[in-house]
Amino acid sequence: MTKALTLALSLLSAPAWADWQINMNKGVTALSREIFDLHMLIFWICVVIGVAVFGVMFYSIFKFRKSKGAVSEHWHENTTVEVVWTVIPSIILIAMAIPATATLMDMYDTSEADVEIQVTGYQWKWRYQYLDEDIDYFSNLATPREEITNEASKNPNYLLEVDNPLVIPANKKVRFLITANDVIHSWWVPHFAVKKDAIPGFINESWVKVEEPGVYRGQCTELCGKDHGFMPVVVEVKSESDYQQWVSDQRAMKLAMAGEASKEFSMDELVAKGEGVYNTACAGCHQPNGQGIPGAFPAITGSTIATGAIDAHVDIIVNGKPGTAMQAFKEQLSAVDIAAVVTYQRNALGNSVGDLVQPNTIQN
């Protein structure tokens, strides 16, 4: 009945996405399978205890009814029984905690990693820095706004897709150093059984060794403010050679970007580019129409900063405003992006200051 109802309702709005997964993912690492087995073990222990307890209970409910003439007996304690049902569960539970301790020790063994990546949580995106390579980038939600607001139909990876996924090699031990820039986040990939809180001022460690290449998706799991539900984690596991190729591509891209920064751009180019930057980096708080959210996030339209001196405008984007959700964007946006978004904010969203700023004047 409910099934029919939900089915009918889901047909109303979007393609039928029937998916009735009811159990944990086994995952794709030795550790995740170990954890899955622990989960199933404790689950079956609970089932057995449950069957016994509820069995006796339902037996009593059917057998000892007053309406069937049951007369109550008078006993009300029995030390032996009471000791037995205290001691046996204690033993079962302690026995259960022993393999769990062994698994914990594996999880905590972050030594001898082949690749080290720092993962930093920001409101509301992830930053990945490869400590041995010169690679450093941000990973933002890539789901179009229209899908979220139900103006477009939702793609299969709805809310679980990003612009730049984390890329790691298969069959290598990868160590994550997890921290945060503003509030507490938590980095979770269910198929790796890796979940660690990202806490400002702390560096937590975790590790993974994935056997098969593939794409694995997760989400932030610690409430981190407004867009907590919109900062997915996507990890692309590549074969060793593909991974090396990707690393060299990243280097090449970095050089190309540096070249861009010294070019001169026209107003139209900057505004066009700025719109894209605005929508990924700014619109989450300041809203796609630039109106902000009164009391929480200021409007860009008519803002004294976005219509005032251009240096101050550049400054707040480059350096942020400490203690607020307004971050220092110099770490996540290139000089070209910053120049573009500043120009866009001044000449769109209802503003028309008429000036522009070139990337080469932006001091990163």
Q: For residue 48, which of 79, 83, 93 has the smallest C-alpha distance?
A: 93
Examine residue 227 and tell whether it contacts another protein (CB under 8 A). yes
**Cβ neighbour number for residue 278 with a 10 Å cutoff:** 22
CB 34 within 8 A of CB 106: yes
By C-beta, is 90 or 248 nearer to another protein? 90
Segment interacting with another protein (CB under 8 A) among 126-134, 158-166, 271-279, 304-312 = 158-166
By C-beta, is 34 or 116 nearer to another protein? 34
Examine residue 193 and tell whether it contacts another protein (CB under 8 A). yes
Examine residue 290 and tell whether it contacts another protein (CB under 8 A). no
Examine residue 57 and tell whether it contacts another protein (CB under 8 A). yes
Residues 61-80 touching another protein, rule: CB under 8 A, are 61, 64-67, 70-78
Contact pick of 46, 51, 253, 309 for another protein (by CB under 8 A): 46
Examine residue 51 and tell whether it contacts another protein (CB under 8 A). no
By C-beta, is 34 or 337 nearer to another protein? 34
Encoded tokens for 294:
């009164």
Examine residue 328 and tell whether it contacts another protein (CB under 8 A). no
Examine residue 4 and tell whether it contacts another protein (CB under 8 A). no
Examine residue 205 and tell whether it contacts another protein (CB under 8 A). yes
The CA dihedral of 266, 270, 273, 275, to the nearest 10 degrees, is -140
Examine residue 22 and tell whether it contacts another protein (CB under 8 A). yes
Backbone angles phi, psi at 103, to 5 degrees: -65, -40
Contact pick of 11, 89, 114, 308 for another protein (by CB under 8 A): 89
Q: How far is the CB of 137 from another protein (least distance, A)?
A: 23
Q: How far is the CB of 112 from another protein (least distance, A)?
A: 17
Q: How many residues does the chain have?
A: 364
Q: What is the DSSP string of 217-252?
A: EEEE-S--STTGGG-EEEEEEE-HHHHHHHHHHHHH
Q: How far is the CB of 278 from another protein (least distance, A)?
A: 19
Encoded tokens for 96:
């259960």
Omega within 30 of 0 (cis) for the link into 124: yes
Q: For residue 281, which of 241, 331, 237, 245 has the smallest C-alpha distance?
A: 331
Q: From CA 320, how far away is CA 327, in angstroms rounded?
A: 4
Examine residue 26 and tell whether it contacts another protein (CB under 8 A). no
Examine residue 234 and tell whether it contacts another protein (CB under 8 A). no
Examine residue 215 and tell whether it contacts another protein (CB under 8 A). no
Q: From CA 325, how far away is CA 317, in angstroms rounded?
A: 12
Q: For residue 186, which of 233, 255, 131 has the smallest C-alpha distance?
A: 233
